[in-house]
Amino acid sequence: MSTKLSIFLLGLILFSVSPFSGDCRTLSGKHEHYSSSLNMFNSQDTMRFSSASSSTSNDCGFSSKEHDPSKEHTRESVKPQSRIKQETKRTTHSVVDLQIQDLTRIKTLHARFNKSKKQKNEKVRKKITSDISLVGAPEVSPGKLIATLESGMTLGSGEYFMDVLVGTPPKHFSLILDTGSDLNWLQCLPCYDCFHQNGMFYDPKTSASFKNITCNDPRCSLISSPDPPVQCESDNQSCPYFYWYGDRSNTTGDFAVETFTVNLTTTEGGSSEYKVGNMMFGCGHWNRGLFSGASGLLGLGRGPLSFSSQLQSLYGHSFSYCLVDRNSNTNVSSKLIFGEDKDLLNHTNLNFTSFVNGKENSVETFYYIQIKSILVGGKALDIPEETWNISSDGDGGTIIDSGTTLSYFAEPAYEIIKNKFAEKMKENYPIFRDFPVLDPCFNVSGIEENNIHLPELGIAFVDGTVWNFPAENSFIWLSEDLVCLAILGTPKSTFSIIGNYQQQNFHILYDTKRSRLGFTPTKCADI
């Protein structure tokens, strides 16, 4: 671990920073698995952060600890606090690593939000549709594409990865799935400043189907240009792009088109391999950030550049995924499905809530949903309803995101939620005060697993739908004796996020045609 990272982690521990994570797959669920799972997380090379904060609220999502019922005196633990502190010391850096990744992620999303607002004020972009084509199959009815997702847990990452075939001849590349982003991009040769990835870099010179988009092509206006902009001086000059995710995380290169090969399952049940030509993507020559050995990123956002938007002529206007329980055997995979899934649509427990549309300053990339109230143990909390609204400036609101691990609620909602969990649990389970990241944590030593009862979280939406989560989606077991709430806070001006940890063992449907989100409890390992 670098000196800078060590100092930063120490700062986080001393100041009790709220966590922002990666994939907590190995941190959750039945506590008998804790020892092997936590040791799989290793610290990553991190980006430089401008500051660490004290316990007062600020723009990194740190929350005040003043007048906090979760810190009140409790009865003496069955097992001494010092003993548990020693046993969980080895897990601290693992969880802090996850915290750093989520912190970066939220700064990324918020930075992209601010940049999007600025771009909207500068110019109105033209509506430009994708120009993809099916190579060798000009006419095909929408079908279904089923992809296997790989968890990044062995890389210390919270993201999910999809293997994609790119170019002619096609070559394999592992891309991070991201519903909070639109641009698809790969690290490309020549790579002038690139992060480490597993496998070879994409080389456009070896692909017969690669073609640069020129700077005077209408599609060039879909992408953010470098600052200051590069002047377009000739008809064959490439379209440069700069896609900034926040802090030092970014990708810069040439905007281009390429052939992506997909395995399409037709409505009749057959399976065929199709080459999708003219897929817009970024060929990145300068790339920085925490991308966990991936070759690049596959955007699933609502904008026209995303993988899902560009493939609508193939699979229609919907996609879904089902993330397996983080205690599942590593041989069990999560699934990503493009196209209509009849089994899902016919599920008796499938519920829908509408996406929030038409907000002038909201970001078109994100999937906003409108919360009405939060339930803990089945009872609605007294949280001002305006907490969940998108402001006239575009701040606030709630998004569902595959790239953020834990769930984050804006203040004052987070403090109210946290205190209600502490209130419900502290009489039976002593509060553990010395874990520097998650809060509150509870000492459950000496209690049989079947006798441990954790409150459940529910989210009620304005259209009347309620999303109830099992306790294992809201708590993380750090050891056999210590369980912590896996929900954190963000400032009032920041949006709330429902992360992928909260979504485990739910089949999540993104129906963009009807502008709605579907969800149903599912044993994802069986899909």
pLDDT band at 69 (very low <50, low <70, confident <90, very high): low
CATH topology of domain 85-107+343-526: Cathepsin D, subunit A; domain 1 (2.40.70)
Q: Which residues have CB under 8 Å from 174's CB, separation 6+?
A: 150, 161, 162, 163, 164, 198, 199, 293, 294, 295
The domains of the chain are located at 85-107+343-526, 124-338
Q: Which residues have CB under 8 Å from 348's CB, separation 6+?
A: none
> What pLDDT score was predicted for residue 96?
55
Domain 124-338, CATH: 2.40.70.10
Which tens digit of pLDDT belongs to each residue from 108-165?
565 555 555 444 434 434 455 556 655 544 444 556 888 888 887 766 677 889 989 9
Long-range contacts of 161-166 (CB under 8 A, 24+ apart): 161/294, 162/298, 162/336, 164/260, 164/298, 165/260, 165/261, 165/262, 166/202, 166/207, 166/258, 166/259, 166/260, 166/261
Which tens digit of pLDDT belongs to each residue from 419-429?
999 999 988 89
Average pLDDT over residues 495-521: 95
* Higher local confidence (pLDDT), 22 or 474: 474
The CB density around residue 74, as the number of other CB atoms within 10 Å, is 19
Q: Which residues have CB under 8 Å from 524's CB, separation 6+?
A: 322, 323, 324, 325, 334, 335, 504, 505, 506, 507
> What pLDDT score was predicted for residue 29?
38
> What pLDDT score was predicted for residue 411?
92
CA 295 to CA 186: how far, in whole Å?
6
| Out of 38-42, 144-148, 460-464, 504-508, least confident range | 38-42
Is the confidence at residue 55, as pLDDT, over 70?
Answer: no
Domain 124-338 in the same topology as domain 85-107+343-526:
yes
Question: What's the predicted TM-score (pTM) here?
Answer: 0.78
pLDDT band at 15 (very low <50, low <70, confident <90, very high): very low
Q: Count, in order, helices (H) and strands (E) of the chain.
A: 7, 28
Is the confidence at residue 329, as pLDDT, over 80?
Answer: no
Catalogue the active-site residues: 178, 401
> Among 122-131, 338-347, 410-419, which range has the highest average pLDDT?
410-419
Is the confidence at residue 360, as pLDDT, over 50?
Answer: yes
Is the confidence at residue 78, as pLDDT, over 60?
Answer: no
Is the confidence at residue 186, as pLDDT, over 90?
Answer: yes
> What pLDDT score was predicted for residue 84?
53
Which tens digit of pLDDT belongs to each residue from 372-413?
999 999 999 999 988 999 988 888 999 999 988 889 999 999
Long-range contacts of 2-11 (CB under 8 A, 24+ apart): 2/45, 4/48, 5/43, 5/45, 5/46, 8/46, 8/49, 8/52, 8/100, 9/93, 9/96, 11/52
